Amino acid sequence: MLLYLLLLVPIIYLKLIINILRAESLFRAILLTIGWIFLGLFYLLFYVCVDMFNFLKILYDYKEEGDEDIIKAREDEM
């Protein structure tokens, strides 16, 4: 999953530059493009980390709930 997200970062980075240039007027497009060039990579990498954290948290919570069910079932048998 991490590799997949990291492979998408350059595509998203360039696609957003193209979308900014298409959608905005010349002056505003230049300002937004400069901002995105300097901050966009950090923004994308930060949210890749957040996404992976949430993904792993969901996987961990799923396992934890399964273990609790097994423990409760064993306690009920005793």
Q: What is the pLDDT of residues 36-68, one digit of tens each?
A: 999 999 999 999 999 999 988 888 876 555 566
- Decide: 17 and 36 in contact? Cβ < 8 Å: yes
pTM: 0.67
3-state SS class at 1: coil
The stretch 24-47 carries a mean pLDDT of 93
Measured at the CA of 46, the angle between CA 44 and CA 52, to 5 degrees, comes to: 100
